Amino acid sequence: MSTRDLHLNDSADSISSAVEFVSQALSRAGLAKPSVGVILGSGLGCAADRLINAGGISADYVDIPGMPQPRVTGHHGTLVCGRVKDQSVVMLKGRVHWYEGRVLDDILFGVRLLAGLGIRNLLVTNAAGGINPQFSPGDLMVISSHLRPLLYTVPATFPGHSRMANAFEIQESRGLWCNVLRTVALQTKTPLRIHEGTYAMMPGPCYETPAEIRMLQKIGADAVGMSTVPEAVEAVSLGMSVLGVSCITNCAAGLTDQTLSHSEVTATASAVSEPFSEWIWNVVCGMKP
């Protein structure tokens, strides 16, 4: 057995312990097997607070066996379970990023946990910089396609890369972003402006340079962020349908005179928290179990 196999087995063991832990919490709370999972990006954890206010339960990632801790401000590290209309939903408030220097197993732990719980519909959200000139901070973008211009030259060095390679074939042949869920999202009313577009995942941790944004503009990106794509690839390879949503928190680098900062990102996310949470709730209501 190679060190890679050993590593994968370790990871599978800790996922099963985490699945067991969350399943027991769901059953103690009288919640049915969950059908929807939601991953909440930078500053967007408010949707999980709404689930708690409606009688949901929560567990800190530190208490869930094997669950990696996010280390970025605005990423709380709390799992929340509750009921949205007649569906049981699990929300992950906070994620682990590639740019934190974490291994793929850590980045994908949350998605694997949601898949292990039997979840089939996944909504992945992120904060993103707007590149499309029609987009303003506070708008939403439903992801219809994605770019990964400076990524994935390295996965061969990551444990689990052969699984990811299979996932790329799935993605290439039938697309990653579920058309049915996209239609649900676009038809769900919100006072926020809602667009569809292409998400470019950049490696981070720094924001892009103005020249990188000009490059992304030329190759067709509408918004840019540092997450979501690996989670969506893994989710599709595990048989889930995926909806991706970006909250445009700022104009991308060089498009205004402003210097980008993480506090601008979290401030915009927090300014739209009410309508965003309401919209997420209604999108989940529109998903068929």
**Phi, psi at residue 44, to the nearest 5°?**
-105, 15
Q: How many CB atoms lie within 10 A of CB 86?
A: 9
Of residues 19, 90, 265, 284, which one binds ligand HPA by CB under 6 A?
Answer: 265
In angstroms, what CA-CA distances link 3 with 8, 86, 119, 122, 160?
9, 44, 30, 31, 11
Taking the complex as a whole, how short is the minimal distance between the CB of residue 44 and ligand HPA, in angstroms?
11
**254 in the Ramachandran plot: left (φ > 0), alpha (ψ -120 to 50) or beta?**
left
Q: Is 146 a catalytic residue?
A: no
Quote the Cα angle for 248-92-55, to 5°. Answer: 110
Q: Is 161 a catalytic residue?
A: no
DSSP 233-262: HHHHHTT-EEEEEEEEEEEPTTSSSSPP-H
Stretch binding ligand HPA (CB under 6 A), from 10-18, 96-104, 173-181, 221-229: 221-229
Nearer to ligand HPA, 64 or 213 (CB): 213
Stretch binding ligand HPA (CB under 6 A), from 60-68, 115-123, 157-165, 220-228: 220-228
Tokens at residue 157, please?
């060095």
Residue 226 near ligand HPA by CB under 6 A: yes
- Cα Rg, the chain, nearest whole Å: 18
Alpha helices, DSSP H, located in the chain? 3-28, 46-53, 104-116, 161-174, 179-187, 210-218, 229-237, 262-271, 273-286
Stretch binding ligand HPA (CB under 6 A), from 64-72, 80-88, 109-117, 223-231: 223-231
Q: Is 262 a catalytic residue?
A: yes
Q: Which of 9, 32, 54, 99 is catalytic?
A: 99
Q: Which of 11, 227, 237, 273 is catalytic?
A: 227
Residue 208 near ligand HPA by CB under 6 A: yes
Nearer to ligand HPA, 264 or 286 (CB): 264
* Residues within window 184-203 making contact with ligand HPA, judged by CB under 6 A: 202
Q: Is 75 a catalytic residue?
A: yes
CA-closest candidate to residue 61, choices 11, 110, 12: 110
* Residues within window 121-180 making contact with ligand HPA, judged by CB under 6 A: 127-129
Taking the complex as a whole, how short is the minimal distance between the CB of residue 127 and ligand HPA, in angstroms?
4
CA-closest candidate to residue 185, choices 273, 240, 122, 118: 122
| CA 58/CA 90 separation, integer angstroms | 9
Taking the complex as a whole, how short is the minimal distance between the CB of residue 99 and ligand HPA, in angstroms?
9
| CA 48/CA 127 separation, integer angstroms | 16
Residue 260 near ligand HPA by CB under 6 A: yes
Taking the complex as a whole, how short is the minimal distance between the CB of residue 133 and ligand HPA, in angstroms?
15
Q: Is 199 a catalytic residue?
A: no
Residue 252 near ligand HPA by CB under 6 A: yes
Q: Is 35 a catalytic residue?
A: no
Active site residue ranges = 42, 75, 97, 99-100, 127, 226-227, 250, 262
Residues that bind ligand HPA (CB under 6 A): 127-129, 202, 207-208, 224-226, 249-250, 252, 260, 265
